[in-house]
Each structure stands twice: as structure tokens, then as C-alpha cells.
């Protein structure tokens, strides 16, 4: 049997090792818990009024002559994905699929026309 001093020295080493490991272990467990909570919570917002407006989308082409209003809502705190909403002349709102080819082309045209108008306007000094 080893002398008592060797046992005490060995025990203090284990104790100091465990004490040094505890903060790291606590930090790791806390990080895992926080990461799990962040991933589990939806980004659609915490308040009930902050939700995506579009529950379903369509890729079907809609003739521009039927458009009354176009809303382009970028992704953000209210919704994880960009939303494009057409209000037709009969006041029917239609959500368009933002990845549809014709929708991308339409949005590009709108953005370029808006940029042209802004650059064409004279600046007031």
C-alpha cells in the first residue's frame, strides 16, 4: 500500500483536475443548450402579429394587366423567407413563389426601373 502522502497528493491532483474541468464542462453544456434553443425557436417572431403573410405560393404566371399592387417583402424578423404579394384588380391577394423564373425577372425589372427613376431625379442642394 502506498504511503498516505502519496494518496493525498494523488487525490489533490484529481480534485484540481476536476475543478479545472468543471468550468469548461459547464460552458460546453450551456453552449449546447443555447444552440438548441436558438435552433428550436422559429425566427417568425415571438409576437403573434409577426408572421409570414404567405402560407402558400404559386409559380403560375399572372398577366401584369391584372396587377393592382405589388409588395416585395424581404426576409427578416417577421418571416424567414422573402415574400412577393400581388394584389389583383379584383382585390384578390396572390403570393408568388420568389424562385419562379418569371417572378425573378419581374422583380429585377421593378428594381432596375426604380433605380433608373432615382438616378434620373435631380438632386436638390
pLDDT in tens, 41-79: 555 445 445 589 999 999 999 998 999 999 999 988 888
What are residue 21's phi and psi, to 5 degrees?
-80, -30
Q: Residues 73, 53: contact at Cβ < 8 Å?
A: yes
pLDDT tens-place string over residues 113-125 = 888 888 876 666 5
Topology annotation, domain 64-120? OB fold (Dihydrolipoamide Acetyltransferase, E2P) (2.40.50)
Helix or strand (DSSP H, E) at 116: helix 101-120
Residue with cell 475543478: 19
Q: Residues 84, 116: contact at Cβ < 8 Å?
A: no
How long is the chain?
Answer: 125
Query: What are the sequence ranges of the domains in the chain?
Result: 1-41, 64-120
Burial of 27 (0-12, 13-18, 19+ CB in 10 A): exposed
Q: What is the pLDDT of residue 54?
A: 92
**For residues 23-38, average pLDDT:** 74
Amino acid at each position: 500500500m502506498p504511503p498516505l502522502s502519496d494518496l493525498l497528493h494523488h487525490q489533490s491532483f484529481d480534485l484540481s483536475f476536476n475543478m479545472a474541468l468543471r468550468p469548461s464542462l459547464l460552458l460546453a453544456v450551456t453552449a449546447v443548450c443555447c444552440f438548441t434553443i436558438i435552433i428550436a425557436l422559429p425566427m417568425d417572431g415571438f409576437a403573434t402579429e409577426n408572421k409570414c403573410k404567405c402560407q402558400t405560393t404559386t409559380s403560375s404566371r399572372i398577366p401584369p394587366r391584372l396587377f393592382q399592387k405589388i409588395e416585395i417583402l424581404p426576409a427578416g424578423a417577421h418571416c424567414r423567407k422573402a415574400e412577393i404579394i400581388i394584389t389583383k384588380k379584383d382585390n384578390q391577394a396572390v403570393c408568388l413563389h420568389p424562385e419562379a423564373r418569371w417572378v425573378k425577372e419581374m422583380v429585377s425589372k421593378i428594381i432596375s426601373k426604380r433605380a433608373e427613376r432615382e438616378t434620373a431625379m435631380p438632386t436638390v442642394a
